[in-house]
């Protein structure tokens, strides 16, 4: 979909292999399997998502490190608290380091009849949602997202097992995506 | 086939009946001129099975065999009949998964086919489907399947063979008068027919209002039940013999305007019924006590609800605080009870007065609430299912509860309790008619027996499961040791076991006693339960997905369980209502799936086993209609999601799967027991499956409209 890729930063629309592990020149079977639908490319989300994620990690890591350190220190002796705190911090650091990859794993594409969505670093997913099956398309932004100027588009279908959302879109892009999806779900509308 | 066989002997004749009946229907199809007015009410076959019709005149010899043992048999018969007396119809019941697997091996592992390059026609089953057929032919029914006594084959959907594949051409219902008439003769006509073996299931729910003037004299003396007047073994080529002589028709009031009948489309909501108001609608007249016409005006619940509620209040009062108050003597208790009774009666009266319901156009309008008024208006085109529930007490009182399921989640259910039984069933029919887009005055759709579960089979099958047997043995051991050593500690283990047994064995046993399933134009109807009699109706197209569960031991019995995802059944009711057939011979289960998802041929679907090394037993098959997965080694589960109902497609690759180069493909449907997950697929193949299914799903969605007002369109199940 041309109009969509236009709305994205050009550097982000370069294709599916960005940031994925083990990317030799020849696309691995895994990459082919997660390729965008024919005639489209993955639209990548805004890089701000990386910082959004990092801030979240920070906000989770520091307090929990403090709590863990304090509790361990008080109950088991301060000798215990150091490794525990280090563990928590290491986990946070891991999240911090992998944030760009998580960001790069998100991609969406609007095929002619279906909305394609991919994400996940450890567990990669490809989700195909027919436009006709979309029941609700909404845009949400929590406080942090608002501060960063991004929003999440969430698509709901009658199948509750799927959590289909596209985080880290610029507000305008999110609104446009929502409108496009809503319009298409109208044209392709089918009952339950 | 231990269980089922016990009843198998007399069924030959019965299947003969079924065939005979089918012949009859077909004959009627060819002669649309003769039609009962009630038939012209606009119900037409809720599906026209192109495939089956195309497969030619199915039954070579309708073999009107003489008489049957008891009426009940006619439905159970076909199941059991298969192996015994129909050797040339090996079909579904015969194949096993071993066969399947073998066949799948014989065919190249198509899904992972050589052309991994994601061709336009990417995935195996679809691509190879046609070419594979020969290989898998032994598995499939081949033409014989129709010839067999498959009850569904015996169902009237079969159009006249002459009409060819143009499925749209023959009305399935609308022409044949056999349905209601015979049914009427079967049950409503009680006295005239020999009540020899009143099918246990029937009395609890009269499936339809008494027909106008059923041929009393003609009724088969042994009264098999709903239909199938045995006497008319309408000769072999059932097509031609215009059964002028065949009875039900003879009695039909000559329906003048019956026209060419495809289906008589609905008049607009609220308009008079499609058929001349004079002739039809026999029920009001036939019923001794004319019930309120639920199609117009607003109505209230049955008055007996008031004393019932008051009584419940008083009983609760007596049970809880009353016991404490007894210390003060009986006088105060009596006084207080009276007070409570009056208060409760007043409240119940107010509540009863404030609950009204009625039909307005295509909407069901329900007002409830005493202090906080709640008014709901339900578009009936969104209706998902209608259940009539009658607990034991309500059966005694002649009341029933009506539940209307909508797709909006746990609180979206409408419950009307309690209605008079007749009113409830009439309202149910009206709601379903509206949901189908017909006039509310359309007579209740006829139905054709599909399956009757013999109690012996239910009992045997429920007991014959590993968990139940294991728990039972363990329980016995515990008790014996406890008795031997005088140790009370065994109770700690015995009680949970007992509870588990009650839940896993006794619960289903009581719940599904007297199970009877029938097919009708307005959907699949299930009647079951003795202590809580239920009648469930799932309209066509509302079944989102189906799974066939086959526990290890059941395989030797050849029986399975069929469950379904229906959008209305969520939360607690999902557990409650999602089982379509608790115990059923395998081939019937497949037949049901083929009916529920028209155009599918589940037995013919080729399953491709997963890459070795993953979960054992996993397999995936895709054809033009359905996405089929199989999983489980001990307890085999086959999940079926038709493309037309697929909500979301997902491919997932976890860390372990990445190492193995496999992926999991999943077709999501509205919540329910069915989860079609195919694990262990090669990634490239998985992607082809995703793309191919997405494309087919799009085609399926665009060619078949939704299930709303299905009767008014010819395109459903296209």
Evaluate whether residue B401 is within a structural domain: yes
Q: Do A125 and B707 touch (CB under 8 A)?
A: no
Q: What is the pLDDT of residue B114?
A: 31
Closest chain A residue to the Cα of B541, Cα to Cα: A192
Question: A99 to chain B, minimum CA–CA distance in Å?
Answer: 18
- Are the CB atoms for A164 and A154 separated by under 8 Å? yes
| Contact at CB, A190 and B683, closer than 8 angstroms | no
Closest chain B residue by Cα to residue A32? B684
Backbone Cα Rg of chain A: 20
pLDDT reported for residue B290: 57
What mean pLDDT is predicted for residues B42-58? 37
Name every residue whose Cβ is closer than 8 Å to that of residue B217 and which is 6 or more positions away in sequence. Answer: B192
- Look at residue B96 and tell me if it is in a domain: no
- On whether residue B556 sits in a domain, the answer given is yes
Question: Which residues on A lie below 8 Å from B675 (Cβ)?
Answer: 161
- Whether B596 and B573 map to the same domain: the answer is yes
Nearest chain A residue to B570, by CA: A160
pLDDT tens figures, B64-88: 333 333 332 233 223 332 232 333 4
Using alpha carbons, select from B138, B141, B148 the residue that is nearest to residue B107: B138
Residues 6+ apart with CB under 8 A from B609: B101, B104, B105, B109, B618, B619
A33, A114, A192 member nearest B694 (Cβ)? A114
Q: Are strands A114-119 and A107-110 parallel, antiparallel or unpaired?
A: antiparallel
pLDDT at B479 over 60: yes
- The last residue of a domain, from among B483, B502, B537: B537
Share the mean pLDDT of chain B.
Answer: 66
- Name which residue leads in pLDDT, B597 or B48: B597
Using a CB-CB cut-off of 8 Å, the residues of chain B touching A30 are 653, 658, 661, 683
In a shared domain, residues B669 and B652: yes
- The pLDDT score that the predictor gives to residue B670 is 87
Which helix (H) or strand (E) covers residue B576, if one does?
helix B572-577
Q: Which residues of A touch B382 (CB under 8 A)?
A: 192
Which one of B384, B652, B695 has the shortest CB-CB distance to A123? B652
pLDDT tens-digit series, residues B510-532? 999 999 999 988 888 999 998 88
**For chain A, give me the number of helices (H) and strands (E)?**
6, 7
Q: How confident is the model at residue B711 (pLDDT cuts 50, 70, 90)?
A: low
**Could you tell me which residues come within 8 angstroms of residue A18 by beta carbon, excluding any fewer than 6 positions away?**
A44, A104
Record the tokens describing residue A123, joined without a space. Answer: 């567990």
Locate A167 and state its tokens.
Answer: 């985080």
**In this structure, are B303 and B434 located in the same domain?**
yes
Query: Furthest-apart CA pair in chain B: how many Å?
Result: 89
> Domain spans of chain A?
48-101
Q: Is A159 on the interface with B (CB under 8 A)?
A: yes
What's the Cα-to-Cα distance from A10 to each of A7, A13, A99, B117, rounded to whole Å? 8, 5, 20, 29
In which region does residue A149 sit, left (phi positive, over 0), alpha (psi from -120 to 50) or beta (all else)? left
A158, A181, A188: which to substitute to probe chain B, counting the most B Cβ within 10 Å? Answer: A158
Asked if residue B545 belongs to a domain, the reply is yes
Residues of A in contact with B118 (CB under 8 A): 32
Partners of B258 in beta bridges: none
Q: Has residue B597 got a pLDDT over 60?
A: yes
pLDDT exceeds cutoff 50 at B17: no
Look up residue A175 and give its two tokens.
């609104």
* Claim to verify: residue B410 and residue B303 sit in the same structural domain: yes
Query: Where is pLDDT greater, at B212 or B454?
Result: B454
Residues belonging to chain A: 192
Contact assignment for B684 to A114 by CB distance below 8 Å:
no
The answer to whether residues B712 and B386 touch, using CB atoms and an 8 Å cutoff, is no
Q: Do B706 and A192 touch (CB under 8 A)?
A: yes
**B273 min Cα distance to partner chain A (Å):** 27
Average pLDDT (B86-114) is 35
**What chain A residue is nearest to B690 in terms of C-alpha separation?**
A128
Same domain, residue pair B697 and B589: yes
B412, B442, B472: which is the final residue of a domain? B442
Q: What are the structure tokens assigned to B502, written together?
A: 């009650």
Residue of B29, B145, B6, B141 whose CA lies nearest to B84: B6
Q: How far apart are CA B636 and CA B615, in angstroms?
A: 12
Tokens, residue B313: 């209040």
Q: Do A157 and B647 touch (CB under 8 A)?
A: yes
Query: What residues of B are in the A interface, CB distance below 8 Å?
Result: 118, 382, 384, 407, 544, 567, 646-655, 658, 661, 663, 668-671, 675, 683-684, 686-687, 690-691, 694-695, 697-698, 701, 705-708
Q: Is the residue at B523 inside a domain?
A: yes
Q: Which residues of chain B does A114 touch, with a Cβ-Cβ cutoff of 8 Å? A: 694, 698
Which of B437, B650, B688 is the best mutation test for A, with the most CBs of A within 10 A? B650
Tell me: do B508 and B559 sit in the same domain: no
What is the spatial distance between Cα B216 and Cα B187, in angstroms, rounded to a whole number? Answer: 11
Q: How far is it, in rounded angstroms, from Cα B152 to Cα B519?
A: 9
- Please name the helix (run of DSSP H) or strand (run of DSSP E) that holds residue B128, with its range, or none: helix B124-136
Whose CA is closest to B427, among B408, B407, B403? B403
- Shortest distance, CA B381 to any CA of chain A (angstroms): 10
Contact A30 B567 (CB under 8 A): no
Q: Alpha-carbon distance B638 to B551, whole Å?
A: 11
pLDDT for residue B674 is more than 60: yes
Q: Which pLDDT belongs to residue A191?
A: 63
Instruction: State the pLDDT at residue B189.
Output: 35
Q: What is the rounded average pLDDT of the residues A129-142?
A: 90
> Tokens for B576?
């409650």
- Are residues B610 and B680 in contact, defined by beta-carbon separation less than 8 angstroms? yes
> B387: closest CA among B570, B526, B572, B561?
B526
Examine the domain organization and report whether B475 and B494 are in the same domain: yes
Distance from CA of B678 to the nearest CA of A (A): 14
Q: Are residues B701 and B635 in the same domain?
A: yes
Q: Which of B506, B537, B568 is the last residue of a domain?
A: B537
- What is the band of B327 on the pLDDT scale with cuts at 50, 70, 90? confident
Residues B29, B170: Cα–Cα separation, whole Å: 7
Note whether B396 and B317 are same-domain residues.
yes
**B384 contacts on A by Cβ (under 8 Å):** 192
Q: Which of B573, B540, B524, B521 is nearest to B645 (CA)?
A: B540
Contacts of B670 in chain A (CB under 8 A): 158-160, 192
Q: Are B650 and A127 a contacting pair at CB < 8 A?
A: yes
Q: Which of B379, B384, B437, B648 to probe the A interface (max A CBs under 10 A)?
A: B648
> Are the C-beta atoms of B111 and B123 separated by less than 8 Å?
yes
Q: Say if residue B224's pLDDT is above 90.
A: no
| A29 interaction partners in chain B (CB closer than 8 Å) | 661, 683-684
| Tens of pLDDT, residues A69-110 | 999 989 888 888 899 999 999 999 999 999 999 999 999 999
Q: What is the dihedral of CA B593, B597, B598, B599, to 10 degrees?
A: -80
> How far does the CA of residue B567 sit from the closest CA of chain A (Å)?
8
Q: How far is B451 from B559, CA to CA, in rounded Å?
A: 13
Q: Pick the closest to residue B21 from B49, B59, B56 (CA basis).
A: B59
For an interface test with B, give the residue of A37, A126, A188 to mutate (most B CBs within 10 A): A126
Q: Which residues span the domain enclosing B499?
A: 445-537
Cβ separation B668–A164 shorter than 8 A: no
Q: Is the pLDDT of residue B256 over 90?
A: no
Query: With an 8 Å Cβ cutoff, is A109 touching chain B?
Result: no
The answer to whether residue A187 neighbours chain B at the CB level (below 8 Å) is no
CB contact under 8 A, A157 and B684: no
More confident residue, B475 or B176: B475
pLDDT of B438 = 81
**Interface check A164 vs B, CB under 8 A:** yes
What would the pLDDT profile of B112-124 be if each residue is shown by its tens digit?
333 333 333 334 4
End-to-end CA distance of chain A: 27
The pLDDT value given to residue B68: 34
User: Inter-chain contact B705–A191, Cβ cutoff 8 Å?
Assistant: yes
What tokens does A60 get? 């989770």
A173 backbone dihedrals φ, ψ, rounded to 5°? -60, -40
Shortest Cα distance, chain B CAs vs residue A72, angstroms: 33
| Judgement on whether residues B316 and B427 belong to the same structural domain of the protein | yes
Q: Which of A31, A32, A33 to mutate to test the interface with B (most CBs of B within 10 A)?
A: A33
**How many whole angstroms separate alpha carbon A70 and alpha carbon A76?**
10
With cut-offs at 50, 70 and 90, classify the pLDDT of residue B408: low
Report the distance separating Cα A119 and Cα B536, nearest Å: 41
**Touching B: A residues 21-60, CB under 8 Å:** 29-30, 32-35, 37
List Cα–Cα distances, B587 to B78, B145, B593, in angstroms: 10, 10, 10
Between chain A and chain B, the number of residue pairs with CB atoms below 8 A apart is 108
- Is residue B200 scored above 70 in pLDDT? no
φ and ψ at residue B124, rounded to 5 degrees: -50, -70
Give the gap in angstroms from C-alpha A161 to the nearest C-alpha of chain B. 7
Cα–Cα distance for residue pair B687/B122, rounded to 1 Å? 9
- Which class for A10: exposed (0-12), middle (13-18), buried (19 or more C-beta within 10 A)? exposed
- The 10s digit of each residue's pLDDT in B555-594 is 999 999 999 988 877 777 777 788 999 999 999 999 999 8
Task: Specify whether B477 is located in the same domain as B348.
Answer: no
β-strand pairing of B516-520 with B448-452: antiparallel
Helix (H) or strand (E) holding B525: strand B523-528
Closest chain A residue to B688, measured at CA: A33
With bands split at pLDDT 50, 70 and 90, how would you rate the model's confidence at A66? very high
Overall number of domains in chain B: 3
Same domain, B408 and B305: yes
Residues 6+ apart with CB under 8 A from A146: none
pLDDT at residue B89 tops 90: no
Say if residue B601's pLDDT is above 90. Answer: no
- Residue A98 contacts B, CB cutoff 8 Å: no
Averaged pLDDT for residues B257-282: 35
Q: How far apart are CA B93 and CA B26, in angstroms?
A: 26
Strand order, beta sheet including B543-550:
B579-585, B559-566, B543-550, B636-642, B626-631, B619-622, B608-609
CATH assignment of the domain containing B322:
2.30.29.30
A122: chain B residues, CB-CB within 8 Å: 654-655
The whole-number average pLDDT for the span B289-293 is 64
**Cα torsion angle, A117, A138, B544, B579, sign:** positive
User: For residue A116, is pLDDT > 90?
Assistant: yes
Q: Say yes or no for a CB contact (<8 Å) between A157 and B649.
A: no
Residue B182 β-bridge partners: none
Under 8 Å CB-to-CB from B387, ≥6 apart: which residues? B402, B403, B405, B534, B535, B536, B537, B577
Average pLDDT of the residues in B148-172: 31
């Amino acid at each position: 979909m041309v109009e969509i890729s236009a709305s994205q930063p050009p550097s982000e629309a370069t294709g599916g292999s960005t940031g994925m592990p083990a990317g030799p020149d020849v696309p691995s079977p895994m990459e082919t399997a997660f390729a965008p639908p024919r005639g489209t490319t993955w639209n990548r989300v805004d890089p701000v998502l990386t910082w959004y994620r990092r801030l979240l990690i920070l906000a989770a890591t520091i307090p929990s490190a403090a709590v863990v350190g304090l509790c361990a220190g008080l109950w088991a002796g301060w000798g215990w608290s150091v490794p525990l705190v280090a563990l928590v911090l290491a986990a946070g650091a891991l999240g911090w380091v992998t944030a760009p990859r998580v960001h790069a794993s998100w991609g969406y594409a609007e095929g002619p009849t279906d909305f394609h969505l991919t994400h996940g670093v450890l567990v990669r997913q490809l989700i195909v949602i027919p436009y006709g099956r979309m029941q609700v398309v909404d845009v949400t932004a929590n406080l942090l997202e608002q501060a960063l100027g991004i929003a999440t588009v969430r698509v709901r279908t009658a199948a509750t097992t799927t959590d289909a959302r596209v985080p880290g879109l610029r507000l305008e892009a999110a609104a446009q995506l929502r409108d496009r999806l809503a319009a298409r779900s109208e044209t392709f509308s089918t009952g339950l | 086939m231990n269980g089922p066989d016990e009843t198998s002997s007399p069924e030959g004749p019965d299947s003969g009946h079924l065939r005979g009946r089918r012949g009859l229907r077909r004959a009627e199809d060819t002669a649309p001129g003769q039609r009962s007015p009630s038939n012209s009410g606009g119900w037409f076959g809720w599906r026209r099975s192109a495939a089956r019709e195309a497969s030619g005149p199915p039954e070579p010899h309708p073999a009107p065999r003489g008489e049957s043992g008891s009426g009940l048999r006619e439905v159970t018969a076909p199941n059991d009949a298969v192996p015994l007396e129909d050797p040339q119809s090996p079909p579904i019941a015969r194949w096993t998964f071993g066969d399947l697997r073998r066949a799948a091996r014989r065919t190249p592992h198509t899904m992972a086919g050589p052309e991994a390059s994601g061709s336009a026609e990417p995935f195996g089953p679809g691509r190879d489907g046609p070419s594979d057929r020969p290989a898998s032919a032994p598995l499939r029914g081949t033409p014989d399947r129709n010839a067999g006594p498959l009850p569904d084959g015996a169902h009237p959907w079969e159009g006249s063979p002459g009409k060819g594949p143009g499925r749209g051409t023959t009305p399935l219902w609308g022409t044949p008068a056999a349905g209601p008439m015979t049914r009427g003769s079967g049950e409503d006509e009680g006295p005239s027919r020999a009540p020899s073996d009143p099918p246990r299931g029937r009395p609890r729910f009269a499936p339809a209002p008494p027909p106008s003037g059923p041929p009393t004299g003609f009724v088969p003396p042994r009264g098999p039940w709903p239909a199938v007047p045995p006497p008319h073994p309408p000769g072999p080529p059932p097509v031609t013999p215009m059964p002028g002589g065949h009875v039900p028709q003879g009695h039909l009031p000559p329906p003048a305007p019956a026209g060419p009948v495809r289906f008589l489309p609905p008049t607009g909501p609220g308009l008079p019924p499609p058929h001349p108001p004079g002739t039809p609608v026999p029920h009001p007249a036939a019923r001794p006590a004319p019930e309120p016409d639920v199609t117009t005006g607003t109505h209230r619940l049955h008055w007996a609800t008031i004393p019932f509620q008051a009584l419940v209040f008083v009983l609760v009062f007596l049970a809880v605080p009353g016991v404490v108050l007894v210390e003060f003597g009986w006088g105060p208790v009596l006084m207080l009870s009276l007070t409570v009774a009056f208060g409760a009666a007043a409240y119940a009266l107010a509540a009863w007065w404030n609950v009204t319901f009625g039909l307005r156009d295509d909407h069901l309008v329900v007002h409830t609430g005493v202090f906080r008024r709640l008014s709901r208006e339900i578009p009936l085109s969104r209706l998902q299912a209608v259940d009539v529930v009658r607990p034991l007490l309500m059966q005694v009182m002649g009341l029933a509860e009506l539940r209307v399921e909508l797709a909006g989640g746990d609180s979206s259910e409408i419950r009307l309790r309690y209605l008079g039984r007749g009113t409830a069933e009439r309202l149910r029919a009206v709601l379903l008619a509206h949901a189908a887009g017909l006039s509310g005055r359309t007579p209740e759709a006829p139905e054709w027996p599909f399956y009757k579960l013999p109690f012996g089979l239910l009992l045997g099958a429920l007991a014959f499961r590993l968990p139940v047997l294991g728990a039972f043995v363990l329980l016995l051991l515990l008790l014996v040791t406890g008795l031997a050593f005088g140790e009370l500690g065994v109770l700690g283990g015995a009680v949970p076991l007992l509870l588990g047994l009650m839940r896993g064995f006794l619960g289903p046993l009581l719940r599904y006693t007297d199970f009877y399933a029938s097919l009708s134009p307005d959907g699949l109807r299930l009647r079951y339960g003795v202590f809580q009699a239920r009648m469930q109706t799932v309209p066509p197209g509302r079944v989102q997905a189906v799974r066939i569960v086959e526990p290890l031991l059941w395989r030797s019995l050849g029986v399975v369980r069929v469950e379904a995802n229906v959008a209305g059944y969520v939360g607690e009711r999902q557990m409650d209502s999602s089982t379509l057939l608790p115990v059923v011979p395998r081939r019937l289960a497949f037949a049901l799936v083929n009916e529920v998802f028209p155009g599918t041929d589940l037995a013919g679907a080729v399953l491709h086993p997963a890459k070795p090394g993953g979960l054992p037993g996993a397999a995936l098959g895709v054809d033009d209609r359905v996405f089929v997965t199989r999983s489980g080694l001990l307890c085999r589960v086959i999940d079926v999601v038709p493309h037309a109902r697929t909500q979301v497609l997902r491919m997932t690759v976890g860390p372990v799967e990445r190492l193995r180069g496999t992926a999991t493909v999943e077709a999501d449907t509205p919540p329910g027991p069915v989860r079609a997950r195919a694990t262990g697929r090669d990634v490239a193949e998985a992607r082809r499956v995703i793309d191919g299914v997405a494309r087919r799903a799009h085609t399926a969605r665009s060619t078949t409209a939704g299930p709303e007002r299905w009767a008014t369109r010819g395109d459903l199940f296209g």
